[in-house]
Structure 1
Amino acid sequence: MRAGRPRWPSHGCGTTDAEHAAALDAAGRIAAYLTEQGFPEPLRADSGNGAHLLYRIDLANDDAATEVVKGVLTTLDTLFSNDVITVDTANYNAARIWKLYGTLSRKGDSTPERPHRRAKILSVPQNIEVVPRERLQHLAGILPKDEPAPRRTGGSIDLVRWLAEHGIAVRSTRPWQGGTLYVLAECPFSGAHKDGAFAIQFANGAVFAGCHHASCGGGAQRWPELRAMYEPREKRKQEAIAGAKVEENPTPPRPAPAPDEYRERAFAILQHGDPLTFLLDTFNKSHVGDRTVAECLAMSIASQSVENTKGLHVAISGNSGKGKSHACTTMQNLIPEAYKLTGTVSDKALYYDDDLRPGTVFLFDDTALSDDLQEVLKSATTSFHEPIIHRTITADRQLRVCSIPERCVWWLAKVENPGDDQVMNRMLTVWIDDSAEQDARVLEHLKRTEASGSTRGDDPDVLTCRALWSIVKEHRIFVHIPFARRIEFSNAANRRNPAMLFDLIKCHAALWFLQREGEETDGETRIEATRQDFDAAARLYGAINQEGGGQESKMTRNEAAALVTIARMGWETFTVRMLQQATGLSYHQVRRILQGYTAKGTTYCGLLEKCPAVSVVDATVLDESTGIVVRRHELHFQFDAEAYREWVAQTAVWLEDEGGGGLPAAFWRELQHA
């Protein structure tokens, strides 16, 4: 099957470079869509004037199979053709002449504007798989063929007027089954993609709306949902009552709450409740413990709505299997679908993803960041409120400008440091709880979950959290800290960490923006931070600086645990072997913890560089265990307990009283207890 042959509206001659590029670009979008629909990777080719996507099918050569293929091409034509490119619907039959790749396409005269080009194969998959029959049938039937029954309400809807009144832009229109199909300029159902949404008004007045993306309904009827998004509830209620009067057998209402009820509940929490506690409690319904991790992730999301912040990005470290990934995905589940991106991406893939939107959360799970991705992350933190621009040259030597949207945050989950020092200095560094007590709590939670039986559908609290974040993301919030001059740090050597504390204060305040007096200026909500915001930020800042200063030194959980073990054993001098036996880790792991290592050109520092209490000497040891005196070199590590205690105490932050009263003693007690 030669499914999807984007070409140009006929000119009687070849294509311009712009038309040719548009066809190749459309082929890429169609191939991506077909992959989403369950199609295997196609053979991709350049016809010289357009683009080809070749898929292998295994159907009988009969009328039924011909209709299926014809339906597939008709669907693709309906969803992707526009005034620039057209999907060729004529190549549905088996007896079809096709381009011989390697030959010159000689349509019309060759001119500088419309030159002849050679047809060529662009890519061939390693295995050319057969498209499953059911996937072909599904795609052929994704658009309604028959008129649905009209909605019985007090009056019919003029769809084109309704779309215009509600500001829903239409990209193109065309006749469809006796009615009119409107291809929408942007998808109103999801921010994860722009194209794919459509609406149809049939001859009998019935309306069908949907999106062709499988992740966004896959062509299912979504007209009632679309109306609910744009029409006031009272109007819909009155129409429903009017419709019930003429309906002989009315369908009983569904018990599930309408989507806007979650939004109303979210508004109530933002206006009168404790938004952060609600978010963390909902997080803990699925993920046990790790409240500090969850709070850092929540502050990171909130930073996307704060105008005067450079964004908060999060690096989570901990041993494998202890819940780093689960913590991140659980928090991601609380934000709207359109604002999250997970998985592995290549160095430049982020630039070419046209579906990314401002305020997306990137999760890199146990992924070693390449040098290029680390540079992207540095750019994201330096120019948080501006897109990151990448300029490249296409195969036909045309300049292409790509970008990553503004206000995106990065979450890195890895056993060890995910990047170099310049990257880590830009991150909130937090440890997953890998204690034996946490293991027991997780097991008990798993038992309760399995004993309670499976549940269907999303938790109402999760849906409310998504609505809450949607509301926050709709606002740009400027937070003034009137007491900023009174904030003191016991150690400000790393200049980025004080800035992070200020950002934590602002982000905490942003979650309470509907409970603070503020003013609207040029689309910006301006509020003031309070002592409550400072106390919450200082508590979190202290939590991520526990056990030797994880935030200050960027230590991993294993490195911090090694220091605690050394201090507890009371060693002044120790070897790798001694620490290995005390921690239960491998010799290789302990040596890396102490001395660091280099991998793929990136140097990862160890405790010798991070902690001033640890040093090393190269000693000569006499071994007489075999009766023969053997001299060998051995590294002896030295530990200064007093220097370690001073280093631990360097992470204090406090708010001077109006009269300059200094650091409260209670705060020191809390710090030492932590």
Structure 2
Amino acid sequence: MNPIADALDALFPKGGVVELRALADRFTHSGYFDDFAKLTAAAEALDADPEVKGIYVTLNVVDPALLARRANRVKMRLTRSDPTTADADINRRRWLPIDLDPVRPSGVSSTDEEHAAAIERADAIARWLSEQGFPDPVKADSGNGAHLLYAIDLPNDDEATALVKGVLATLDLVFSNDSVVVDTANFNAARIWELYGTLSRKGDHTPDRPHRRAKILAVPEHAEIVTADLLRAIATPLPVDAPAPPKGKKAPVDLGAWLSAHGIGVRSTRPWQGGTLYVLEDCPFSDAHRDGAFAIQFPSGAIYAGCHHTSCGGGAQRWPELRGMHEQKIGNKPQKRTPPAPAPEPDAFRERAMEVLTRGDPLAFILDTFHREHVGDHTVAECLVLSIASQSVENTHGLHVAISGISGKGKTHTCETMLDLIPKAFQITGTVSDKALYYHDDLRPGSVFLFDDVSLSDDMQELLKNATTRFREPIEHRTLTSDRRLRICTIPERCVWWLAKVKSVGDDQVMNRMLTVWIDDSNHQDLEVLGHMKEAEAQRRRDREQDEDVHVCRAIWEILKERTVYVRIPFATRISFQSARNRRNPAMLFDLIKASALLKSYQREQDEDGSLIATREDFDTARRVFLAINRDAGGQETKQTRNEAAALETIAAMGLEIFTIRQLQDALGLSYNKTYRLLHGYCNSKATYTGILDKCPAVSPIDATVAEERYGVEMRRREHYFSFDYRIYREWTAKADVWIDDDPDVSTFAPGFHPPGENVTAAEESRS
């Protein structure tokens, strides 16, 4: 794998012309390429030159005539007569470029802390733009900061330039702070962009400020174009013209003093249209988000306040409402907040939450609320709920969840829908480096980390192992500040991890610590989702924030997170497992029982030591989930992904004792390369992914020499075959059941399992 070639493949269509430009202290080197193999080789050669400070490419569609300037070659040390790409040379705009740059002295690389802060800020922007309807971007590490690239398709004209400029200006106003800024200069069409896979050399390489290689962090599987209407919605939320100034002779309100007097935090201030714009620390109009709110005082004294989020009016004037929330009267008229729809006060949500916790079924209530937004995947949802509940169990290692399945079948939507039911302060999503987690100031004990289709670095996987082993303790990281002082940073205790990936995580030790569950990708589920989508499109516009049950779910978790409870399982010694080969799986069943008991902690008895007593009902809940993730809804015992399980089911259905990759490829309808990877696994720059051959004992490779005659000549060649033992496969996939000894109510056993003493016929022991 070549990171430069991969970057070119991700950013540019084949056959287009791209300028490669390298900047040194005194010289510029440049060439034009439509042969990306030659571009890659040229970039690698430039990257090896220590005098080169940075290597860049043009992002947008270059006039193909420019290839003749320096066709598939680099000219070193350009002179004044050697032109590079100008704005007029761009035919169309292909990308919206967002560059997050840490605040630091010019001419030097960023520290690890500054670098991590920029990546974290990029994640915040990506989440916010996603709320506005933007698709997933290309996420990248620039070496010193972070990049987001959104696919667009616009002509190269003044209107498009103003549109891109406006989007960057809005993002700067909302997200730039004292540590990280959005670069607003990236609006011109011929803007050059760091070539991923190359080294960024700003200043000298030092331990505190190292040179780093730019790299792509995430690429959407299906790139979607951001429409011009979406861009306009972001580019024009702030008022250009001032509202009418206050009437009468009364002195206008001093906005800065008013905000301070009423305890409204201000993140930053800056000039705006001759007045002052205040970016607010928290949104005063909604509890659903923190960012996006602003207030402006124009030179006339007039004030405009609003929030960029669509649910808060998308930038509409809300100053009278804001003032009315904090003052009894404005003039002689009482002012009241008038939200889009009435909602109960927070105490009412908590009151309903306590009613559910004391007299209802909290698990069923949360799942019912979840399924209003997401169809199916009930087992996945149960795993996620019990995972959150485990955070409040005193004697547990926590329940962490790994979700796999075919791309586009709902992994992300499942996790995000469940996240929406917990308080916002406990959510961490997006791409976060291992060091950034340590420096995240807002992390709270009991947070949920969602890593959506992100390849975990070796350091991140080690961090996850540490977090699951020391679940009940903070994880400390010792580092030195720029003035050589010791700083101890921590990730708080009781955080759970949700990993949503098409493939497995890559590390068996990580997978052994997680509930392994699959997204439902069946045809029946596809039809259910389609029906739900049709119903949603036919309904009147609704705001999920106005769903009272969503707020009740959040209140339930707020209450449960206020304490930790020790849970005792009095019948634990009578629980039997069909297989205890993986010693972590019994521990997970016990943790599932404890999490179920925790959800009903306000209805359960306690012993003389104050321990919560788990019941048979908790065992039944845990057993149902445990069996599901060992059968049709997961690979807990076997550690198969959904794709691997489907491949093995196909092999079993083929009825062949010997098969080839080509035969399996034809049966699965996949490419040869994907089929090969399913069997053998593969490695990339971040992880090693094991395949079916390493996981399933029923499949074995066979190398054979095949003789055949061609053109009258006997030729010999090697052929790779694979054997499949159905009996071993049946036994391997059947080791899942669990029951309570001396319990007559064990009614469901895994396929191929027979309770002690039950006769097994010869027919059942062999495959017909």
Q: In the superposition, relative to structure 1, how do residues 475 and 578 fare at CA in structure 2: closer, same or farther (>3 Å)?
A: same
- Give the aligned partner of residue 697 of structure 2: 612
- SS of corresponding position for 2:730: helix
Q: In the superposition, relative to structure 1, how do residues 461 and 630 fare at CA in structure 2: closer, same or farther (>3 Å)?
A: farther
**Which runs of 5 or more structure 2 residues have no equivalent in the other structure?**
1-102, 104-110, 130-172, 179-208, 213-233, 255-259, 266-279, 296-304, 755-768
Work out whether residues 619 and 634 of structure 1, in 8 Å CA contact, stay in contact via their aligned partners in 2: yes
State the 1:191 CA deviation: 11
- Give the aligned partner of residue 401 of structure 1: 488
- Give the aligned partner of residue 381 of structure 1: 468
Letter of the aligned partner of 2:575 in structure 1?
A: I
After superposition, residues 97-108 of structure 1 pair within 5 angstroms as none
- Give the aligned partner of residue 361 of structure 1: 448
Tell me, in whole angstroms, the C-alpha distance in 2 between the residues paired with 1:282 and 1:626.
Answer: 70
After superposition, residues 341-490 of structure 1 pair within 5 angstroms as 341-458=428-545, 459-490=547-578
State the 1:603 CA deviation: 2.0
**Which runs of 5 or more structure 1 residues have no equivalent in the other structure?**
1-5, 7-20, 39-74, 82-119, 124-131, 149-158, 170-183, 199-209, 228-238
Work out whether residues 270 and 514 of structure 1, in 8 Å CA contact, stay in contact via their aligned partners in 2: yes
After superposition, residues 268-347 of structure 1 pair within 5 angstroms as 268-347=355-434
Tell me, in whole angstroms, the C-alpha distance in 2 between the residues paired with 1:671 and 1:655.
Answer: 19
Tell me, in whole angstroms, the C-alpha distance in 1 between the residues paired with 2:639 and 2:704.
Answer: 29
Residue 733 of structure 2 is aligned to residue 648 of structure 1: yes
Work out whether residues 652 and 671 of structure 1, in 8 Å CA contact, stay in contact via their aligned partners in 2: no
Letter of the aligned partner of 1:574 in structure 2?
A: F
- Give the aligned partner of residue 502 of structure 1: 590
Find the partner of 1:666 among 728, 747, 752: 747
Find the partner of 1:256 among 335, 342, 352: 342
Tell me, in whole angstroms, the C-alpha distance in 2 between the residues paired with 1:303 and 1:252.
Answer: 39
- SS of corresponding position for 1:637: strand
Work out whether residues 422 and 554 of structure 2, in 8 Å CA contact, stay in contact via their aligned partners in 1: yes
Residue 664 of structure 2 is aligned to residue 576 of structure 1: no
Residue 603 of structure 2 is aligned to residue 603 of structure 1: no
Comparing 291-300 and 453-462, the one that deviates more: 453-462
- SS of corresponding position for 1:667: coil
- Give the aligned partner of residue 553 of structure 1: 638
Work out whether residues 508 and 536 of structure 1, in 8 Å CA contact, stay in contact via their aligned partners in 2: yes
Letter of the aligned partner of 1:606 in structure 2?
A: G
TM-score by length of 1: 0.65
Work out whether residues 542 and 671 of structure 1, in 8 Å CA contact, stay in contact via their aligned partners in 2: no
Tell me, in whole angstroms, the C-alpha distance in 2 between the residues paired with 1:283 and 1:400.
Answer: 41
- SS of corresponding position for 1:402: strand
Tell me, in whole angstroms, the C-alpha distance in 1 between the residues paired with 2:440 and 2:497.
Answer: 16
Tell me, in whole angstroms, the C-alpha distance in 2 between the residues paired with 1:300 and 1:558.
Answer: 24
Letter of the aligned partner of 1:600 in structure 2?
A: S
Q: 1:314-361 CA distances to partner (integer Å, 9 max, x unpaired)? A: 100011111111111111111111111111112311111101111111
- SS of corresponding position for 2:749: helix
- SS of corresponding position for 1:385: coil
Work out whether residues 549 and 651 of structure 1, in 8 Å CA contact, stay in contact via their aligned partners in 2: no
After superposition, residues 15-26 of structure 1 pair within 5 angstroms as none
- Give the aligned partner of residue 103 of structure 1: none
Residue 346 of structure 2 is aligned to residue 265 of structure 1: no
Work out whether residues 192 and 357 of structure 1, in 8 Å CA contact, stay in contact via their aligned partners in 2: no
- SS of corresponding position for 2:451: strand
Work out whether residues 404 and 517 of structure 2, in 8 Å CA contact, stay in contact via their aligned partners in 1: yes
Name the structure where helix makes up a greater proportion of residues: 1
Q: 1:596-620 CA distances to partner (integer Å, 9 max, x unpaired)? A: 1122252221111211111111111
Q: In the superposition, relative to structure 1, how do residues 645 and 254 fare at CA in structure 2: closer, same or farther (>3 Å)?
A: closer
State the 1:215 CA deviation: 12
Letter of the aligned partner of 1:472 in structure 2?
A: L
Q: In the superposition, relative to structure 1, how do residues 663 and 557 fare at CA in structure 2: closer, same or farther (>3 Å)?
A: farther
Q: In the superposition, relative to structure 1, how do residues 374 and 192 fare at CA in structure 2: closer, same or farther (>3 Å)?
A: farther
Q: In the superposition, relative to structure 1, how do residues 626 and 329 fare at CA in structure 2: closer, same or farther (>3 Å)?
A: farther
Letter of the aligned partner of 2:726 in structure 1?
A: A
State the 1:382 CA deviation: 1.0
Letter of the aligned partner of 1:312 in structure 2?
A: L
- SS of corresponding position for 1:413: strand
- Give the aligned partner of residue 180 of structure 1: none
Tell me, in whole angstroms, the C-alpha distance in 1 between the residues paired with 2:633 and 2:388.
Answer: 27
Tell me, in whole angstroms, the C-alpha distance in 2 between the residues paired with 1:249 and 1:602.
Answer: 59
State the 1:212 CA deviation: 11
TM-score by length of 2: 0.57
State the 1:641 CA deviation: 0.9
State the 1:518 CA deviation: 3.2
Letter of the aligned partner of 2:586 in structure 1?
A: P
State the 1:263 CA deviation: 2.0
Q: In the superposition, relative to structure 1, how do residues 133 and 248 fare at CA in structure 2: closer, same or farther (>3 Å)?
A: closer
Q: In the superposition, relative to structure 1, how do residues 617 and 669 fare at CA in structure 2: closer, same or farther (>3 Å)?
A: closer
Q: 1:561-587 CA distances to partner (integer Å, 9 max, x unpaired)? A: 111111112111111111111111211
Letter of the aligned partner of 1:497 in structure 2?
A: N
- SS of corresponding position for 1:411: strand
Comparing 624-633 and 611-620, the one that deviates more: 624-633
- Give the aligned partner of residue 207 of structure 1: none
Tell me, in whole angstroms, the C-alpha distance in 2 between the residues paired with 1:33 and 1:293.
Answer: 25
Work out whether residues 456 and 686 of structure 2, in 8 Å CA contact, stay in contact via their aligned partners in 1: no
Q: 1:35-78 CA distances to partner (integer Å, 9 max, x unpaired)? A: 8999xxxxxxxxxxxxxxxxxxxxxxxxxxxxxxxxxxxx99xx
Work out whether residues 476 and 489 of structure 2, in 8 Å CA contact, stay in contact via their aligned partners in 1: yes
Tell me, in whole angstroms, the C-alpha distance in 1 between the residues paired with 2:711 and 2:349.
Answer: 76
Tell me, in whole angstroms, the C-alpha distance in 2 between the residues paired with 1:34 and 1:320.
Answer: 24
Letter of the aligned partner of 2:673 in structure 1?
A: H
Question: What is the aligned length?
Answer: 517
State the 1:665 CA deviation: 5.9
Tell me how large the CA RMSD over aligned residues is: 5.2
Q: In the superposition, relative to structure 1, how do residues 535 and 226 fare at CA in structure 2: closer, same or farther (>3 Å)?
A: farther
Work out whether residues 607 and 613 of structure 2, in 8 Å CA contact, stay in contact via their aligned partners in 1: no
Q: 1:507-526 CA distances to partner (integer Å, 9 max, x unpaired)? A: 011111111123798xxx63
Q: In the superposition, relative to structure 1, how do residues 602 and 297 fare at CA in structure 2: closer, same or farther (>3 Å)?
A: same
Q: 1:354-388 CA distances to partner (integer Å, 9 max, x unpaired)? A: 01111111111110000011111111101112111
Tell me, in whole angstroms, the C-alpha distance in 2 between the residues paired with 1:415 and 1:635.
Answer: 27
Letter of the aligned partner of 2:373 in structure 1?
A: S
Tell me, in whole angstroms, the C-alpha distance in 2 between the residues paired with 1:672 and 1:539.
Answer: 17
State the 1:248 CA deviation: 8.8
Residue 579 of structure 2 is aligned to residue 491 of structure 1: yes
Q: 1:211-269 CA distances to partner (integer Å, 9 max, x unpaired)? A: 99999999977798899xxxxxxxxxxx9xxx9xx989999999613233222222211
Q: In the superposition, relative to structure 1, how do residues 407 and 248 fare at CA in structure 2: closer, same or farther (>3 Å)?
A: closer
